[in-house]
Chains A and B, each alone.
Chain A
Amino acid sequence: MSQYAIELRGLHKSFGKTEIIRGASLAVAPGERVAIIGPNGAGKSTLFNLISGRLKPTSGEIALNGRRIDGMAPYEVSRLGLARSFQVSNLFGKLSVFENLRCGVLWSLGYKYAFWKFLAGLADANERAEQLVRDLNLERKRDTLAMNLTYAEQRALEIGITIAGGASVVLLDEPTAGMSKSETARFIELIREVTVGKTLLTVEHDMGVVFGLADKIAVLVYGEVIAFDVPEAVRRNAKVQEAYLGSVLADAQAAEAGH
């Protein structure tokens, strides 16, 4: 029995004739913080969609804490302790910050589809949601509707909903996308704080964020994980250099051709 938090074995995903994920394999130990990097179109977001149940793999296996989850619906994966955030904030627009977070904690505390209990009486859910409001530094916006928040606040709430259910494995899809430099620095600190002790997978373009958050880096190129190691080793890896240099060369050529 493997006791990896997340394990991908020979994962394939095709859209029509286009193969996006071509035999990706990855094994992440519990508590590891992994950044997935790769050129545009490498399949990073698709990989997250496969793991979180949004898409079903064409073939291959995905295991969460040793348990197969490929082919499960997102809510089933979520109930087993895997949560994800989205690149474009995916909130409950007409509910307040507090209500958004309370929705995030309800299932994990066992309230399910209850219509015979009042929300106001759920002390544990209310305390947890209140704690999250404080952790995210959104006290002042506690009763503001999600759709009326600033961009950075929406990104914070996005992370808040993701971690609200107390999942042990957290997937963050470009958490700092669209943020300014100073916002990003503060935000990385926030993510570090709220994901202590969890297994963390992030997709990132910003190398500053990658080195700030990750213990290990997985490099995804053309739907395959070509390297998975500590940052120093990945930097020295010949295949990675080739892949990245290749794309840099291609960019340079494209730029020249444009002249």
Chain B
Amino acid sequence: MDKIKILSLIVTALLFVPMANASELSLHGFLQTNYSVRVNDDNPQGAKQGNLILGEERAQIKASFYPQKSKIGIFVKSDFYHDWVEEDWAFDFREGYLDFMDDKFGFRVGRQIYTWGVGDLLFINDVFPKDWEAFYSGRPLEYLKIGADSLKLDIYSDIVSAEAVVMPFFEPDDLPSVGRFHFFDPYPNIPNRELEKPDSAFEKFGNMEYALRLYRYIGDFDVSAYAYKGFFRSPGMKADNFNSPSVISLFYPELAVYGLSAQRSALGGVVSTEYGYYDSLNDRSGKDPGINNSQSRFLVGYQKAFPEDFTVGIQYYGELMHQYRQYKDNLPLAFAKRKELHQYITLRLTKLLKYQTLKLSLFTFYSPDEEDFFITPEVSYNFTDNLLGIIGVNIFTGAEDNTTFGQHKKDSNIYVTVRYSF
């Protein structure tokens, strides 16, 4: 199904090309090299190329065709790359969709990237698939987002506007994987695990994922309300016996999320706030240690610009577990014990120099309860309008080996990206 759709999109795109007027057809892309090297020699089991976490040459082609005075348009973005770690050549079909636009509504069907919510690298109501491995290994930010094969309906009105999304094919998050990253595993002696992915909605209609966002201005506040029904994108665990298991399997538990966000200019900057109720549908009682407890997630953020192209952003984020007593009572010994309230404080500093060709940035996650950090200082420089160079460091550090960032503390890495855009 998926492949047929992709092919038909490409064929349609090619058919459009000869008919197209130069200003309506746009063809761009880039050539890029991207390397990331672990700074210490303590490589994880299964590491294929020693310290090399990421090594690739990549070409991206981006084509769009939006004919004048037409209600339809098409957009395709695809990568072709060589991966030095897997020693492999591959396509990465990033996005590809058909657009239909009318006065009061619009449709977009195909693979598309969504970014919802007001957090900066903290996602509450953004329930769409993400590639954390890409993010942790120093690939450009756009690779944090994975396109979802979906249909989106936009409705525009003065009272309230809406984005309604249906996703028939479940797409999990890409998490740091074996061979590239160290990570905490409560049962290292049971390496063989079946991973059960939800069938597509064409096979099982009940697996259709729905995401809805309603938005409008209320006074000076830019307000959104969200709802989602689908699955957790990181797996839960099933075991015959959690205290001394012999068989383990992984699966994606059902999830519903309801939330709100608001943003406005205030206090000499921009103030943001967001809330989401994570309803863990398969474990409302909170007794199943293999499934995330229901949670309230919330954040408050503030960003301010200072003279000379200097910007500061700070955020406070919290995850409050709702069935904490049940969680504690049922927690297997092997598991890392989480606090009832899990928190992050983030800081972003950005400074632009030399007519904005040189950018110095720093992003820091700090969790006071897990006592771990993820710190990313980065320098990027536009040699010309077309040639961009980036060098940065992903620093993982923490008191324990079983926390979100602490588990990767041997994976701190230096990354380099050079991109030529055309």
A binds B: no
B contact residues vs A (CB 8 Å cutoff) = none
